[in-house]
Every structure is written in structure tokens, then in C-alpha cells.
Chain A
Amino acid sequence: MSLILDSVSKRFGEVQALGDVSLEIEPGRVFGFLGANGAGKTTAMRIVLDILRADSGTITWNGTLNTDLPRETWGYLPEERGLYAKMNVLEQLVFFARLHGIKAKAAERETREWLERFRIPEYADRRAEQLSKGNQQKIQFIAAIIHDPQVLLMDEPFTGLDPVNAAILKEAFGEMKDRGKTLVFSTHQMETVEELCESIAILDRGRVVVSGSVRDVRRSTGRQMVRVAVEGDPEMAWLDGVDGVRVIRRGQDYVEAEVAPGHDPGAVLATALGRGCAIRQFEIAEPSLEQIFIERVGQIDTTERTLAPRTVTV
């Protein structure tokens, strides 16, 4: 009983957009898609929504093929945001709801409720073009969930939101999760993922690099991180001599070091105590998602790889 992608592949001409992607997304969970631009996040979502068809592989939700499911199953917030500029907010939200089979009256009630929740009830009668970008984004989110879908797929939902509006959107996420919805979203903001997601998948050039619960992904490297601070010795040069330990960063307050798989972080503590240091801080942690991401995928690439490169024949 979950959303399952089974060996999904998709090719656009020369570009392998998705290569043999298999994932299982638990119902009622918040799932994050991580990946650089062009990693295949949008394509994967469009295939789940049956807007695009996979070349091979299947997608099932609760055991039913996605091609057999009604569209109302899904709520979709596309990365490219757009509304009908000349239409007023209430009218177009009711329009979207009715396309999903909601009665006009119920749709209007639901719309007003959500506008209230987003603290913009007075915008119901404004034309979309009169709204700020952030507020338009809220309207688009409402458009995606107005028909009460079981699964919510959102492409970069936090891009372009200021901290206040991002917090409001996170609240809405919580509301949807409380209603038992399954939330899937893509992002390249690691803090958001660590804050919201229970499970993630990191995609790179159409392939799943790693997936699972956030805890498992962090532990997947087998490495551990230690943060140490002692009185009177900010450099702690002796750390470099401890077996299996590599210093990552020497900061103002503490030194951060990586402990290779199979080595005990306790060795660092033991060494410090052995040297008679007054320990102010000692902390063992898993590597951050950002570190894992950079390790697995490389630098977060900002160049656009969404469009297939044009081949020029001379």
C-alpha cells in the first residue's frame, strides 16, 4: 500500500531522463526528491501523473496502475508557476476544483477556507495578475490541493518564497500530512528536506543514487562526524594523528572531523582525555544530507540541463 515506481525509464532523444528508477514511497509520509537541475525530478513526477508516458517500467498507487487511476488521485504543483492572469482568484480556483469533479458550492467553501488559512481571504475577488509572486504561489498551491487529492506532488514548492510565506507553506504541509495525505516534493534546499522529510531519494542524471529514510541515508556512508572543543587549544593539531580521523573544518568554536567507516569515534574522546584536555564539547553526528549529496553527486550544479542539447550537423 504505497506509491511504487518499478524500473521506470524514459529517454528524450539523446538524453536518458530516467534510467531504471525504482522507488517506494510510504503512504502518509513526506518524501523528498533531491537532485540537481536536469536530474529527472520533473520527468519522474510527470510520469507518475501520466502526463508523460514511461518508455518502460510501471507506477502503482495502492496496487493500481497510475494509468487506471482517476486524475483526482493526484495534486500537482508544477515548477513553472502560472495562473489565468485575467481571472479572479476565487473563480479560477473553483474552476480547477470543478475540473476534478467538485461541486461549485463545495469548491467555493473549500477555497475560502484555504485563503483564510493562508491569511489572504481578501484576495478572493482580485485578478491573479494583481497579486504578488509569493501570493500567486499560494494560490497555485491551493489549486493543487483544492480537490483533496490522496497524493500531492510538488515541484520545487519553496522556490521564490520569503521565510514568512515558506513557514506558512510548511504549516500547510503539516495540515495535509495530518489529513493522511502522501506528500512528495522536489527541492535542492537541504535544510528544508532535513526539516520536513521522512524519506528521500537523491537523483543524479536520471538514476537513483540513494534512497530511504533520512536516517538510513545519513548512515549509508558508514562514516560519522565528531565535533570537539577543548579549553585553550582551538587548533587541536593532535587530531590529525588519530587513526581513521580526518579534520574537515577548524572553526571558531569547534573542530569538525570525519571518522572513517569501521573506526570508533570514541577514540577521539579517549585521546583527548589521555592528553589531559578539558573537554568543552564532544558530539557524534551523522553526515549532513548536503555532505552526502556533494559526495554522491558532486557540487550542486546550477547549470540548466533540463532541455536536450541540440545537435548541430554541418
Chain B
Amino acid sequence: MNGWRTLFPNAWYVAVREYRGRVRSRSFLLGTILLAVIAFAATQLPVLIDFSMSTSQTRVAVVVEASGMPSDSQALLDSQLNPGSTDPAAHKGFVLTWLSAADAAAAQKDLESGKYEALLIVARDAATADLAFTLRTDIPQDGGAVKTISGALATLEIEDRLFRAGTSTAALRAPFSLTLTPVSATSGATNNLSHEVSTNLFSTGLIVLIFMAIVTYGAWVATSVAEEKGSRVMELMLNATTPLQMLAGKVIGNGGAGLTQYGTIMAAVIGGLLAQAPIHKLVVGTESASQFGGLDPVVLGAFVVLFVLGFLLYSLLYAALGSLVSRQEDVQSATSPLMMLCFLGYFGSIFALQAIDEVGVKIASFIPFFSPYLMLARVSSGHVEPWEFALAVALLAASVVVALFVAARIYSAGVLLYGQRVSLREVLRATRVSR
């Protein structure tokens, strides 16, 4: 048929128009800026946590009434309360002030006036000769600070007992031996739990990205079709282009605008991750290890392929459904079946991550509407054969071609039918008589 002969360059002109119209709109601009700011802020969360920790400080007055304590008690308690900070200039969560028994009354006054958050009295139990601690404080008793102090005191108690049993402090500090080896000479190290968790988190993130793209940018396609039909400019377009050219242009244009938004957000995330270390140094004052997780290139490649094909499949059908309504307000209800399908694949894949090797999950990962999610989940968990991935992609690509022709059919009939809501039956009848 005349109408089907060539896709380009007209599809390209339509795509450029769609892209420009979308990118120049205020909602796109504001949305992109907002999302980029949120994404950047999210990457700075670890800095924020470190910062809030660094600003809190518990000042403790220690009144020593006991005698004969180990000589390095002060250093021991200090290092137990402030682990990991060998740098004397670094920020300390606990600041200890050591006082003798004579200062007890003054210390109590200072505690009440707020100079100290806590007053620790170290005495010796007359019966057992063990150290007996009293902690006077209004900070929450089940809070982290009290727990930390309690742990540090337990260590001090043990050291005191060993000291009294005759072990020298030098012997107590002597290094011990720990050798790490694999199970056998041929076995390698397995992924530890935290790596597994971070992989899951990463693939969940990618699945969310695909889901968001389909729901948001697919809806753009449907809206733009309904808009054209509603403003009747469609009638001018009908003589200028073919339904196939219009469809392809709309999907490419809106998809491109979506990718632009994604790219901006990704740039904000990467920028945020790169800026994490300098900002950490600036705000907290110390270096921190950047949280850049290892991005697996295989998973990323699979993501791109599944993302593009999945978006094409869904947005073509979004366009077809969008052509059935005459007013923009009806777009949402017209496209809700597709939305449900999308939700099903999304939630299915989130659960499937927990049961990735189930037969049902494996079968569903080949079904075109679900494969963008489920196959991605399987690829990222590493439980997939290359041929399985190839088959899923081939099926998905084939369904995109089928969707293109089905959508163009519905579209070419739908755009000419005006009325409250056109039923699918009317459209099917109309597709038989128009091209």
C-alpha cells in the first residue's frame, strides 16, 4: 500500500518535532531539574550520615575512686569509645575527662550545669575486688551511646581482672595470629553476603528504571496522540504522513526525550558519586571511601537492549490506545490495562529476585511483556544461559514488529473515530475498512 512504503525521513521529522515539543515544555524542564536534584541529594546521603555523627559528641567525666587499675586504662577506654580514629586531630564521639576522687563534687556540679553529658564513677567492689561502674546520665539508657560505653567498660573490666591475675599489659597487647585460607587449594572465594545484597539492590534499581521509563514515557506517547487528535491537527497530519510514520516518530521522539531526562539524572548521580569524597572532606573533615559499586558491563549491556525493546513494545501499544480517545482526560483510563500489565511484570520481577530459579519465573522471563523485567533480573543474578537471553530478546524484538503493525492498524482507524470513548469492537470493525 502507498501508505506503508517508506518510514523515513518523515518518521524522523515527526520524531524531531515530538522531541522538541517535549523537551521545551515547562513540565519537562521542571521535572528533569527536580529529579536531578533529588538524585544528586540521594548520593550525598552517606555524607549526611557521617556529618550528623560527626557533630554529635558525648562528654564524659570519669571519676576514678578505684586504685590499682591497669596503667593504660585511659588509652584503652578512649580507643574503645572512639574506634578507628588513630588520627589525633579527627573528630571524637566521646570526650573523656579523667578526674580523681577529690573532684567528685565539682564533677557532679558540672554534670548538672551541662558541661558533661555523663558522669562515670569507677570504684572497686569491696567483696569481689572487681571494678564497679556507676553511670550518671540523662541520655537514653537504651540508646547507642550508653551501649557503646557499656561495651567499652566490659573490655576494661576484663583487662583489670587479667591484670590483677598477673598478666602484664604488654602481654595483653601482644599481637595474635590469624591466617586466612580458602577451603581447598583449588577452590576460590565465594561472594559474601554483602556482595549478594548489593547485586540485588543494583538489579532492583535497573528494573525500577525500566518500569519508570515505560510508565512515564509510554504515557507521554499516549498523551501526545490524544493531544493531536483532540486539537484536530491530526487531520492535517493524515494527508502529510502515514500512520506508521507517525507512530514510529512519536515513539522515537518521546523515547528520546525520556532518554534525555534519564541521561540528565544519571549525570547527576555520577556527578554526585564523584563529588562524594570532596564534599565529605569539606563537610566532615575526613576522607571517605566512595560508594561506587562495581557496575557489571554484561548486566548493563543487557539492560540497554531490554530497556530499548521493552520501551518500544509498550509505547507502541500506548500510542494505539491513545488514538482511541478524543480528549486528553480520557488517556489515563484508556491506557490502564497496559499499565496493569506493566505493574504485573514489575512486581513479579521484584518477587522473582527472591526465587530466581523457579520454573515459573524462567518461563515468564521469555514472555515479551514480562521479559524486560524478568530476564534482566535473571541476568543480574547470574543464573542465565546466553541462549536463553538471546531467545528472550528475539521474542521481544519479534513482538515489537507485530506491535508496530497492530498499533498502526488501530491507530489509523482510531484517529478518525470521534466520540466519547471508542470501543475496541468499533475499532476492529473500522480497521477492516480503512487502511
Using a CB–CB distance below 8 Å, which chain A residues touch chain B?
Answer: 10-13, 46, 49-53, 55, 67-71, 74-76, 78-87, 95-96, 98-100, 140, 143-144, 307
Of chain A, the residue at the smallest CB distance from B14 is A99
Q: By the criterion CB–CB under 8 Å, are A80 and B235 in contact?
A: yes
Q: How far is the CB of A18 from chain B (nearest CB, A)?
A: 12
B235 adjacent to A78 (CB under 8 Å): yes
Residues of B contacting A10 with CB < 8 Å? 433
Interface of A is mostly: loop
A66's closest neighbor in chain B, by CB?
B2
Please determine whether A140 and B231 come into contact, CB atoms closer than 8 angstroms.
no
A271-B418 Cα distance, complex, nearest whole Å? 60
Contact A99 B21 (CB under 8 A): no
**Across the interface, do A51 and B233 meet the contact criterion of CB distance under 8 Å?**
no
Give 11 new A-B contacts, CB below 8 A, not counting A51-B416, A80-B235. A10-B433, A13-B429, A49-B239, A52-B416, A69-B2, A71-B2, A71-B239, A71-B241, A82-B235, A84-B231, A307-B419
**Which interface residue of A12, A50, A79, A144 has the most chain B CB atoms within 10 A?**
A50
Contact A82 B239 (CB under 8 A): no
Determine the residue in chain B with the shortest Cβ distance to A153: B239
**B194 lies within 8 A of chain A by Cβ:** no
Interface residues of B in 395-435 (CB under 8 A from A): 416, 418-419, 429, 433-435
CB distance from A89 to the nearest CB of B (A): 13
Q: Are A83 and B233 in contact (CB under 8 A)?
A: yes
Q: Which residue of A lies closest to B25 (CB)?
A: A86
Please, which residue of chain B has its CB at the minimum distance from the CB of A45?
B239
- Can you identify 27 A-B contacts, CB atoms within 8 angstroms? A10-B433, A12-B433, A13-B429, A46-B416, A50-B3, A51-B434, A69-B2, A70-B2, A71-B2, A74-B239, A75-B239, A76-B235, A76-B239, A78-B236, A79-B235, A82-B232, A82-B236, A84-B233, A85-B231, A86-B21, A86-B25, A87-B17, A95-B17, A99-B13, A99-B14, A99-B237, A140-B236
Kindly list the 9 A-B residue pairs having the minimum CB-CB distance in the complex, ordered from nearest: A82-B232, A78-B235, A82-B233, A80-B232, A76-B239, A99-B240, A82-B231, A51-B238, A67-B2
Taking residues whose C-beta sits less than 8 angstroms from the other chain, chain B's interface range is 20 to 34
Report the bound CA distance from A96 to B233 in whole Å: 11
B80 on the A face (CB < 8 A): no
Q: For the complex, is B33 an interface residue (Cβ under 8 Å from A)?
A: no
Does B10 belong to the interface (CB within 8 Å)? yes
Q: Which of B10-45 contact A (CB under 8 A)?
A: 10, 13-14, 17, 21, 25
| Pairwise interchain contact B235-A83, C-beta atoms closer than 8 A | no
Q: Most chain-A CB neighbours within 10 Å: which of B2, B236, B418?
A: B236
Once the chains are docked, how many angstroms separate the CA of A12 from the CA of B426?
Answer: 10
Q: Which residues of A contact B233 (CB under 8 A)?
A: 82-84
* Distance (whole angstroms) from the CB of B125 to the closest CB of chain A: 83
* Shortest Cβ distance from residue A150 to the other chain B in the assembled complex, whole angstroms: 13
Q: In the docked arrangement, what's the CA distance between A214 and B25, Å?
A: 51
Docked CA distance A10–B430 (Å): 12
Residues of B within 8 A of A143 (CB): 236
Contact assessment for A52 and B434 in the assembled complex, using a CB-CB cutoff below 8 Å: yes
- B164 CB to nearest A CB, Å: 85
Most central of B10, B233, B234, B238 by chain A CB within 10 Å: B233
Alpha-carbon distance between A10 and B432 when the two chains are bound, in angstroms: 12
Would A99 and B235 count as touching, CB distance under 8 A? no
Give the residues in chain B near A87, CB-CB below 8 Å. Answer: 17, 21
Per the bound structure, the CA–CA distance linking A298 and B195 in Å amounts to 84
Q: Is B1 an interface residue (CB 8 A)?
A: yes
- B233's nearest neighbour on chain A, judged by CB, is A82
